[in-house]
Amino acid sequence: MDIKLNFVNQSNDENNSQVVIFQKNVASGVEEPAVAWRVIDCGVNDSHPFVFPMAMSVAASDAHGNFSPQMPAQNGQAFDYTAGASGNTLADAGMSTSASEVHVRNKAVIGAIDASIFKDGKIMAVKTSIAPGQQAVFQFKPTIWIGVASQIGQGEVMNTAILSNVNTELSLLGIARADIIMRGGGPGKTSSAFTFTLANVVMA
């Protein structure tokens, strides 16, 4: 079931700050670059409703700038990128070796590929430079990360400077609907750190 979220800006921000929302791929066990899934520009006292879907899709691209169609994906599923009579294609390859992961395997003879996960049609995570014989592994906890950023576009990979300022992780486990309240900020030395909390939570 999709989760209905409503971002509410109750801060004292005077800088028209951007708010970035993303998930982290936790499959590899190492910190990977994260992608800005949503970037919200929302004025003080305004709100911004959006949906966090449970469904996701996967796609692959090659060094020649070719992109496969997005294919529905779910945890425990594997996909193979292979060479065919009409060119390279991405296809369902049955079950992956883990029920909590999505695998994308590069079975082409030559050429590295990038694999991407999408939610709500927007890129959520990417694994680049997957050589032939290698695979990308994606796994996500039922949480989102949220924080204030600047000069970041939706769908862009975020650098370490941006990620170091985002330290709020919100669990969505079992939630059907909730508000995300942003507080803090303000002018000069009296400003406080931005905070993000869930309110008006309705469980599924």
Domains, the chain, with CATH or none: 3-53+141-203 (2.60.40), 56-137 (no CATH)
pLDDT attached to residue 19 = 96
C-alpha angle with apex 163: 197 to 124, nearest 5 degrees?
80
pLDDT attached to residue 55 = 95
User: Mean of the pLDDT values across residues 89-106?
Assistant: 95
Encode 133-142: b = buried (16+ Cβ within 10 Å), e = exposed.
Answer: eebbbbbbee
Residue 61 near residue 70 (C-beta atoms within 8 A):
no
Residue 84 pLDDT more than 80? no
* Dihedral sign (CA 51, 52, 58, 64): positive
Residue 70 near residue 118 (C-beta atoms within 8 A):
yes
pLDDT attached to residue 31 = 65
pLDDT attached to residue 28 = 66
Q: For residue 132, how many C-alpha atoms fall within 13 Å in the half-sphere facing its CB?
A: 9
* Biggest CA-to-CA distance, the chain: 65
pLDDT attached to residue 29 = 61
In 3D, which of 147, 173, 201 has the Cα closest to residue 54? 173
Higher pLDDT, 10 or 86: 10
Q: How confident is the model at residue 139 (pLDDT cuts 50, 70, 90)?
A: very high
